[in-house]
A and B are shown apart, each in its own frame.
Chain A
Amino acid sequence: MRRAAWVCAVAVLLAGCGVGPSGVLDGGPAPTGVAPGVTLYFLDADQRLQPQQRATDRLGTVSSGVSLLLTGPGPGSGLHTQIAPVATTRVEVTTAPGLLRLVVPLAASDVGPSGVDQIVCTALGVHVQGGGDRGTRVQIRFTLPAPGSDEPRTCPLTG
């Protein structure tokens, strides 16, 4: 009886050492970021934001998404944009915690009030699809800023 207790104690001691196999354990949320295309936001006849899927085969970056937005909705879609056409569509994106900073090649006067929402929603959409936080805000820097144009904003559709 007593010997059995000793054997048990020693077995427990030995079993506690080293690395053993385990069952299936949870390791956190799955990664994300794949998508068949990017979602851009344009305006319909009632000046309401409407998503438009672009089959780019991949999600791409926030920068490429916003650049694509600047090229316009394309003909035949029935949607329009409040962003003036530009020669270059290069957009710089820097991220800070809870904040996306976009530097767009536009003056504040080139963009209507709903145009700002178009940019914010498109940028946020790509950010969220890529695994980013939905509460992130977007700050737009224009080449010629207007008062209050670089306030951090959220998309009226999602947030």
Chain B
Amino acid sequence: MRRWWPGGLRARLLVAFVLVTVLGAAAAAWSSAGSAGRALVAAAERGVAEAVTGRIGAVAAELTHPPDQDALDRLRAAVGPGALATYGDLRSAAGTGTDLVTDALRSAVRTGDRLVTQRVAARDGVWLLVGTPIAVTAPDGARTPSGIEVYVARDLADVERQVDGLTAGAAGTAALALPPAVLLALAAARGVLRPVRELRDTARRLAAGDLGARTPPRGADELTELTATVNEMAGSLQASMAALQRMRADARRFAADVSHELRTPLSTLTAVVEVLAAATADVADADARESAQLAIAETQRLVELVEDLMEVSRLDAGTASLHLEDVDAAAAVRDCLRARGWLDRVELLAPDGVGLRVDRRRLDVVVANLVGNALQHGGPPVRVLVGALDDRVRIEVVDGGPGVPQHVRAHVFDRFAKGDPARTRTPGSGLGLAIARENARLHGGDIAVADPTAAGGEGARFVLLLPREQEDR
């Protein structure tokens, strides 16, 4: 079934108020108009009946009995227009409306000794019919029917008009109740809906992240209780969010502090290890030489890790700065590969003249990371494809290795994520892809793992998208 009532709270309140008020007013007005109307009709009928009785009584004593045609006509004339007098087969001239006389009325007159009335509906409205026998009274009061019957028809149009007037008045009274009902309903709806609307706005702001949003509670009804509860909820949410934020900030600051503190001893350590390496270069003992080289390699890894940590800290803290310049994408990628000596191991498919505006150093970091990963973890052939889209540049790094398993793809950009859990000791900090993605996002771009190049899940494909134009930030 279709909903046929209005949906809004305001509209529902309005309809309910108006219905109740108007129905109440209409019922009261209708009942009073109805009883007044019935009284009017009854009075009119009584009046007609009494007039008929009176007029017949006034002339009856002078009527010849048994009556002849002349007597019946005189009787009819005395009763007035719309009358008919009969005696046996004798009938007076028929008055207007006497053709409406029903069989029920006629039989009631014939068999009874009382005056009877009946309202009948005619073509032009309701008529009142009065029928009465005329009794013969003995001197001792005994009554016997005389055989004379009188029928009278009266148009009730006047009474009908009066009753209609009463009804119209009642309808008008009921209609008068309508405007106050509407105003009351609007006022009530306003009182209920304003707190609801305020609460809704507050909830929206909370959902949008404005945890400081509150609704001032007013009054002492259920809606006020609800408002207070929502405020409490928002308060505890805000408090726990603030605690969480503080903890995260603390953790980040700790990482930044740690890496910063490590840098100075590490540079000393690097210098010492280099001296050690130079000193052991000529030592005949292969074990000592190998140990020294291991120390150098691990120290370099440590330095890289600390530098990556510091970069992550800067990116987290939002203090990383962008030095934007106009760059040719193909040239930038080629420079990056050339600087690392990868030009002979990597196939570069890049059209010239794809310009974009980026921080050259950060682009270099990203590309080096992606290509380095491909060379290290993937397999040949490693390809870098540069393409221009409408407003973005697409740099794709593809390799022919085993590819990135489906279940790992969601986590490859996480910090310290390892492509292969079994391979715990690998060169690299584990922050490379995380830093690459942060850098891409710093430019308003992103990096994603795309579907493998070859069927069967072989070959990893990382796609870097960067906008061509940077809005100033």
Task: Give me the interface of A with B, judged by CB distance under 8 Å.
Answer: 13, 16-36, 39, 51, 57-61, 121, 124-125, 128-131, 134, 157-158
Contacts and interface: CB of A to CB of B under 8 A. Distances in A.
20 contacts: A16-B34, A20-B121, A20-B126, A23-B118, A24-B108, A25-B118, A26-B117, A28-B50, A30-B113, A30-B114, A31-B52, A31-B57, A33-B61, A34-B65, A58-B63, A59-B61, A129-B137, A129-B138, A130-B57, A134-B141
A30 B117 CA distance: 12
A44 B242 CA distance: 134
Contact of A27 (B116, B134, B163): B116
B228 interface: no
Given A19-B119, A129-B139, A34 B148 contact: yes
A60 B61 contact: yes
Contacts, number: 156
B130 A27 contact: yes
B160 A58 contact: no
A17 B167 CA distance: 6
B234 interface: no
B392 to A, nearest CB: 61
Main secondary structure of the interface of A (DSSP, over half): loop
Interface residues of B, number: 57
A121 B102 CA distance: 42
A34 B163 contact: no
Interface string B43-86: 00110011011001100111111110000000000000000000
Q: Which 9 A-B pairs have the closest CB atoms?
A: A33-B60, A125-B139, A31-B56, A32-B135, A27-B49, A27-B115, A57-B64, A22-B119, A17-B167
A25 B126 CA distance: 16
Given A30-B115, A31-B132, A131 B139 contact: no
B156 A19 contact: yes
A7 B335 CA distance: 88
A59 B113 CA distance: 20
Interface in B96-129: 102, 104-105, 108, 113-121, 126
Given A27-B130, A36-B66, A58 B156 contact: no
Interface in B262-297: none
B64 A58 contact: yes
B347 to A, nearest CB: 78
A117 B167 CA distance: 60
B134 A33 contact: yes
B221 interface: no
A17 B33 contact: yes
Given A31-B134, A32-B136, A33-B60, 5 more contacts: A16-B34, A17-B30, A23-B118, A29-B114, A130-B60
A23 to B, nearest CB: 7
A24 B163 contact: no
B34 A19 contact: no
Contacts of B373: none
Given A13-B26, A19-B163, A25 B116 contact: yes
